[in-house]
Amino acid sequence: MSGQDHVFIFDTTLRDGEQSPGASMTLEEKLQVAEILDDMGVDIIEAGFPIASNGDFEAVSEIAKRAKRSVIAGLARAIHADIDRAGDAVRHAERGRIHTFVSTSPIHLEHQMKKTEAQVLDIITDTVTRARNLIDDVEWSAMDATRTPIEYLCRCVEAAIRAGATTINLPDTVGYATPDEYKAMFQAIRESVPDADKAVFSVHCHNDLGLAVANSLAGVAGGARQIECTINGLGERAGNAALEEIVMALRTRSDVLPYACGVDPKFLTRASKLVSAVSGFPVQYNKAIVGKNAFAHESGIHQDGMLKNAETYEIMRPEDVGVRATSLVMGKHSGRHAFRQKLEELGYEIGDNAFEEAFRRFKELADRKKHVYDEDIEALVENEIATQGEQIKVIALTVIAGTGGPQKAILTMDVDGKHETRECSGDGPVDATFNAIKAIVPHEAKLSLYQVHAVTEGTDAQGEVSVRLEANGRISTGKGADTDTLVASARAYVSALNKLLARQNRPDHQELKAV
Ligand code: KIV
Ligand code: ZN
């Protein structure tokens, strides 16, 4: 992997992104995300933190076995057990990487690690050497690099390169840097550290001040040649630099950003939708590149200009990032074959059972809704993907609502293969529905988010509901879509509850976090 002006794209959606509270994904979901990242040309996929849990280990090793092109990285703290576990997880990859990190800033050393600078230097030499004894491709990260005095950071980087690190990542862990500072840091390190040219330098920016993408590009101007980022900018707190924004900035402004990357932008929209569906994090409407309004021109002046020449107001074309013109799909008479073709066209490959269920739900939808659009099919299939193998399912719901009150819900659910029905009242039909779920599956989780948006236009549009539940410090999110918003609400709640239950039932449900 070399080339002066090639910038390696390192995606950490499955590690830093998945650490975002409530964004945890199942193995099946992680495999789907990894597959699209591999297909779209991401150079390195950070697939997880193998020591964190058996589930994380299994995900990293399965992704490592399946990857066709991408390097697969596993994260490890500066601890032998972590490094060995990461090495084991990426063992089957065509090209594997161990990514090990340690904090270098005075505030982390004093309060978190309780170690001296000299001790941390020894740890770097020891742990990078250990990783290099397992694998040739080793990335070392200086956590909180941007709050580390530059002289000490230089010594750390020198130690890591001498011990064999092939990539040096200098993260802006707390999203504190400005673009000029970040660029200057890379320039200073690359100028003063002996053998700096033996490693690829990498940026890793958090978005606390909304500067993650700007900082990443500034780091590249300072000599970095790897960018760590996530789909939709997913990540803890305000998230990480958004992959889609980086890729499109490099492409659209190649006149001033002369760096090539291997990502095919046509995958961006699909990847964004998939990550949003499996993480349960909706994409904001005005999000750059992948937001619903990213290519919508409302004002009269803009529309007039667009009609005369699209370049008057459009610096990228929607089709460049994989947005298709909205098309009407088949109606209620369409058969299995046409439905399968439509799924292929939309880029979905789903197993036979999931296909049958999605087809059944499509028929139901086509019976109720006059026009079924691509967006409807996408919402339906993503729902199906997200709910595969769930322990509890919504079977039937009848709601009595209106001004009279009290509102009531009669709900039947399948719990581990057994149907159970309850009737409950509540403060409104949503509350009544959620009370019925609680009556069937008693639990302590608190509802911390309830959000509805319409998938398409019109009064017969499907409502897509997002629900976030919190229990014992754990957060899980679920989505549901249906023309009946209450059914969508029940599905979203049950999907979030399934994720919480699945995590509670894991034998190793301790969860470690990096930053
Ligand atoms: O933000 C950070 O410092 C990290 C490291 C683990 C690379 O995510
Ligand atoms: Zn991070």
**What's phi and psi for 77, nearest 5 deg?**
-70, 175
**Which pLDDT does position 21 carry in this prediction?**
81
382 pLDDT above the threshold of 90: no
**Which pLDDT does position 406 carry in this prediction?**
86
In 309-349, where does DSSP find H-type helix?
336-345
Q: Is residue 30 part of a domain?
A: yes
**Which pLDDT does position 457 carry in this prediction?**
75
**Which pLDDT does position 348 carry in this prediction?**
80
The pLDDT tens digits of the residues spanning 305-331 come to 777 787 787 899 999 999 876 555 667
- Of the candidates 211, 234, 250, which is a domain's last residue? 250
**Which pLDDT does position 4 carry in this prediction?**
47
Count helices and strands in the chain by DSSP H and E runs: 16, 14
**Distance in angstroms (rounded) separating the CA atoms of residues 164 and 160:** 6
Domain holding 400: CATH number? 3.30.160.270
**Distance in angstroms (rounded) separating the CA atoms of residues 73 and 45:** 6
199 pLDDT above the threshold of 90: yes
Q: Are strands 226-229 and 407-415 parallel, antiparallel or unpaired?
A: unpaired
Q: How far does the chain reach from its first CA to its final CA, in angstroms?
A: 27
**Which pLDDT does position 2 carry in this prediction?**
42
441 pLDDT above the threshold of 90: yes
**Which pLDDT does position 217 carry in this prediction?**
98
The pLDDT tens digits of the residues spanning 79-104 come to 999 999 999 999 999 999 999 999 99
CA dihedral 23, 28, 33, 38 (to 10 degrees): 150
507 pLDDT above the threshold of 90: no
The rounded Å distance from CA 353 to ligand 1 centre is: 39
504 pLDDT above the threshold of 80: no
**Distance in angstroms (rounded) separating the CA atoms of residues 493 and 346:** 27
Residue in the structure block whose two tokens are 């065509």: 94
User: In sequence order, which residues have a C-beta less than 8 Å from that of residue 387 and are 6 or more positions away?
Assistant: 393, 491, 495, 498
Other CB atoms within a 10 A radius of the CB of residue 283 amount to: 20
Helix (H, G, I), strand (E, B) or coil at 240: strand
- Residue 62: which domain range? 3-250
Helix (H, G, I), strand (E, B) or coil at 117: helix
**What's phi and psi for 378, nearest 5 deg?**
-60, -45
- Which ligand 1 atom sits closest to the C-alpha of 171? 3
Q: Is residue 35 part of a domain?
A: yes
**Distance in angstroms (rounded) separating the CA atoms of residues 174 and 107:** 12
Nearest CA to ligand 1 atom 8: 515
**What's phi and psi for 53, nearest 5 deg?**
-170, 165
- Give the ligand whose atoms come closest to the C-alpha of residue 170: 1
Confidence of residue 3 (pLDDT cuts 50, 70, 90): very low
**Which pLDDT does position 509 carry in this prediction?**
47
Confidence of residue 1 (pLDDT cuts 50, 70, 90): very low
Of 30-44, 153-167, 471-485, give the lowest mean pLDDT range.
Answer: 471-485
**What's phi and psi for 95, nearest 5 deg?**
-135, 110
Residue of 24 and 9 predicted with greater confidence: 9
Mean pLDDT of the chain: 91
- Which ligand 1 atom sits closest to the C-alpha of 240? 1
The pLDDT tens digits of the residues spanning 151-177 come to 999 999 999 999 999 999 999 999 999
Residue of 8 and 341 predicted with greater confidence: 8
351 pLDDT above the threshold of 60: yes
pTM here is 0.82
Q: Is residue 259 part of a domain?
A: no
207 pLDDT above the threshold of 60: yes
Helix (H, G, I), strand (E, B) or coil at 424: strand
Both structure tokens of 301: 């002046």
139 pLDDT above the threshold of 50: yes
Domain holding 146: CATH number? 3.20.20.70
- Give the ligand whose atoms come closest to the C-alpha of residue 147: 1
67 pLDDT above the threshold of 60: yes
**Domain count within the chain:** 2
The pLDDT tens digits of the residues spanning 294-311 come to 987 666 676 677 777 877
Of 195-204, 206-215, 357-366, give the lowest mean pLDDT range.
Answer: 357-366
420 pLDDT above the threshold of 90: yes
**Which pLDDT does position 460 carry in this prediction?**
82
The rounded Å distance from CA 143 to ligand 1 centre is: 6
The rounded Å distance from CA 409 to ligand 2 centre is: 44
- CA-based angle 87:232:310, to the nearest 5? 135
Length of the chain: 515
The rounded Å distance from CA 285 to ligand 2 centre is: 25
- Which ligand 1 atom sits closest to the C-alpha of 15? 8
- Of the candidates 235, 250, 265, which is a domain's last residue? 250
Characterise 375 by phi-psi region: left (phi > 0), alpha (psi -120 to 50), beta (else).
Answer: alpha
**Distance in angstroms (rounded) separating the CA atoms of residues 274 and 40:** 13
The rounded Å distance from CA 75 to ligand 1 centre is: 10
- Of the candidates 250, 277, 309, which is a domain's last residue? 250
Q: Which residues line ligand 1 (CB under 6 A)?
A: 16, 101, 141, 143, 169, 171, 173, 204, 206, 514-515
CB-proximal residues (5 Å) to ion ligand 2: 16
Residue 397: in which H helix or E strand, if any?
A: strand 392-400
**Which pLDDT does position 297 carry in this prediction?**
65
Task: Give the up-direction half-sphere exposure of residue 184: CA atoms within 13 A in the CB hemisphere.
Answer: 8
User: Which sign does the torsion angle of CA 310, 311, 314, 320 carry?
Assistant: positive
User: In sequence order, which residues have a C-beta less than 8 Å from that of residue 381 and are 6 or more positions away?
Assistant: 343, 346, 348, 350, 358
Q: Are strands 407-415 and 418-426 parallel, antiparallel or unpaired?
A: antiparallel
391 pLDDT above the threshold of 90: no
Q: Is residue 346 part of a domain?
A: no
